[in-house]
């Protein structure tokens, strides 16, 4: 069950098209998995559309009526687009296939090869240009990321499975935001492990034990 969602103002800004590119990717992918947030974005989009239409009606009453009449006479859209939307794409690792939310399917051709990291972790980088550092990260059962905080911000969406980090327990579809005010240590003990999609704008900062020795190389840990 999804427990963690974008803030209401993020959903409103997403509907308005004023959210940053990085946040828009994460909010859109979450909405692909969350009916509640889908409905909120749809309601906000409808409200915004009504406001725009009311404004245009008042300013260009006759032109609007003519345009609307033309639109209603257009033939129905064919099924080509729908068939593309319904096509399910997955990401694969070691024989396991994980279906991706629609938004992340569009990044499939920008995803690099999997590489193994310490702690039973696997990482596949996603090229977002200059929008941030993005990765699919898979934690095997017992896999963990050393305790760390963030010099910048981190957005994470749980794609499949469960993990906990000492602050909360997360399940598929959960939308997670972290910054320098919080310290956490993600770990998955789920039998199927856990796949997440994560975007960070600054390297992690490890905070405990020997992991602190990794800080000079943290830009390589999730690159």
Q: What angle do CA 221, 197, 120 make, to 5 degrees?
A: 50
Same domain, 106 and 72: no
Rounded average pLDDT over 153-173: 96
Query: What ranges in the chain are assigned the alpha helix state H?
Result: 8-16, 21-33, 35-59, 61-72, 80-86, 102-105, 218-221
Q: Tell me, yes or no, whether 62 and 119 share the same domain.
A: no
Range of the domain at 81: 8-86
pTM of the model: 0.79
Same domain, 134 and 65: no
Nearest to 159 by CA among 177, 172, 142: 172
pLDDT confidence tier of residue 147, bands split at 50, 70 and 90: confident
Same domain, 102 and 179: yes
Q: In the chain, how many domains are there?
A: 2
**Position 109 pLDDT exceeds 80:** yes
185 domain residue, yes or no: yes
Highest mean pLDDT among 29-38, 151-160, 208-217: 29-38
120 and 52 in a common domain: no
């Amino acid at each position: 069950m999804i427990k963690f969602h974008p803030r209401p103002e993020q959903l409103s800004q997403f509907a308005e098209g004023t959210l940053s590119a990085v946040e828009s990717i994460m909010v859109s992918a979450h909405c692909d998995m969350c009916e509640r947030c889908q409905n909120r974005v749809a309601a906000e989009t409808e409200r915004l559309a009504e406001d725009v239409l009311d404004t245009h009606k008042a300013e260009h009453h006759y032109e609007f009526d003519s345009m609307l009449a033309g639109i209603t006479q257009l033939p129905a859209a064919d099924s080509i687009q729908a068939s593309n939307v319904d096509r399910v794409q997955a990401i694969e690792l070691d024989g396991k296939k994980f279906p991706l939310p629609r938004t992340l399917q569009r990044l499939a051709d920008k995803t690099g090869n999997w590489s193994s990291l310490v702690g039973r972790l696997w990482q596949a980088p996603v090229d977002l240009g200059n929008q941030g550092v993005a990765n699919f990260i898979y934690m095997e059962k017992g896999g963990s990321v050393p305790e760390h905080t963030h010099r910048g911000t981190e957005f994470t969406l749980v794609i499949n499975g469960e993990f906990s980090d000492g602050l909360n327990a997360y399940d598929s579809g959960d939308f997670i935001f972290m910054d320098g005010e919080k310290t956490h240590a993600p770990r998955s003990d789920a039998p199927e492990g856990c796949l997440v999609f994560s975007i960070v704008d600054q390297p992690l900062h490890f905070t405990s034990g020997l992991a602190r020795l990794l800080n000079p190389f943290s830009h390589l840990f999730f690159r």
